[in-house]
Amino acid sequence: MALLEIRNVRRRFGDFTAVDNVSLSIEAGEFFTLLGPSGCGKTTLLRMIAGFDQPDEGEILLDGVSLAGTPPEHRPVHTVFQSYALFPHMTVAANIAFPLKMANRPADEIKSKVAEALEDVRLSEFAARYPHELSGGQRQRVAIARALVNHPKVLLLDEPLSALDAKLREQMQIELINLQKEVGITFVYVTHDQGEALALSHRIAVMSRGRVEQLDEPDKIYSFPRNRFVADFIGTCNLFDGKIEAAENGIGKLKVEGLGVVSLALAAEEAKAGNAGLLALRPEKVKIASDDQPGEGNCFQGVVRELLYLGDVTVYAVEIAGGVRVKALLANFGAGRTRFFEVGDTVTVAWAVDAGHFLHE
Ligand X SMILES: Nc1ncnc2c1ncn2[C@@H]1O[C@H](COP(=O)(O)OP(=O)(O)O)[C@@H](O)[C@H]1O
- Taking CB under 5 A as the rule, which mask of x and - marks residues 307-326 in contact with Mg ion? --------------------
Which one, 38 or 104, has the nearer CB to Mg ion? 38
Which stretch, 35-43, 176-184, 252-260, 347-355, contacts Mg ion (CB under 5 A)? 35-43
Give the nearest distance from C-beta 47 to ligand X in angstroms. Answer: 8
The residue range among 42-50, 83-91, 206-214, 328-336 that interacts with Mg ion, by the rule CB under 5 A, is 42-50
Which of 225, 258, 227, 262 is closest to 247 using CA atoms?
Answer: 262
Asked if 191 touches Mg ion (CB under 5 A), the answer is no
- Measured from the CB of residue 156, what is the shortest distance to Mg ion in angstroms? 12
Mark the segment that binds Mg ion (CB under 5 A) among 36-44, 59-67, 193-201, 202-210: 36-44
What DSSP letter does each residue of 225-290 carry, written as one string? --SHHHHHHSS--EEEEEEEEEEETTEEEEEETTTEEEEEE--TTT--TT-EEEEEE-GGG-EEEE
Q: Which is nearer to ligand X, 39 or 258 (CB)?
A: 39
Shortest distance in whole angstroms from residue 83 CB to ligand X:
16
By a kind-dependent CB cut-off of 5 to 8 A, residue 249 interacts, out of ligand X, Mg ion, none, with none
Question: What is the 3-state composition of the chain as percent helix, strand, coil, each rounded to the nearest 5?
Answer: 25, 35, 35
Evaluate the CA torsion angle 169, 171, 173, 176 in order and state its sign: negative
CB closer to Mg ion out of 124 and 162: 162
In whole angstroms, what is the distance from residue 270 CA to residue 226 CA?
A: 13
> In the complex, which residues of this chain contact ligand X (CB under 6 A)?
13, 18, 36, 38-44
Give least dist CB 270 to Mg ion, A: 36
**Residue 35 or 96: which CB sits closer to Mg ion?**
35
Q: Which is nearer to ligand X, 19 or 96 (CB)?
A: 19
121-156 as b/e: b if 16+ CB within 10 A: bebeebeeebbeebeeebbbbbbbbbbbbbebebbb
DSSP codes, 120-174 = HTT-GGGTT--GGGS-HHHHHHHHHHHHHTT--SEEEEESTTTTS-HHHHHHHHH
Which of ligand X, Mg ion, none sits in contact with 40, Cβ below 5 to 8 A by type?
A: ligand X
- The three-class DSSP label of residue 68 is coil
Residue 34: CB minimum distance to ligand X, A: 8
Per DSSP, the three-state class of 182 is: helix
The verdict on 43 binding Mg ion (CB under 5 A) reads yes
238 binds, among Mg ion, ligand X, none (CB under 5 to 8 A by kind): none
Give me the least distance between CB of 184 and ligand X, in Å please: 27
Three-state secondary-structure class, residue 334: coil
Residues forming contacts to Mg ion in the complex (CB under 5 A) are 43
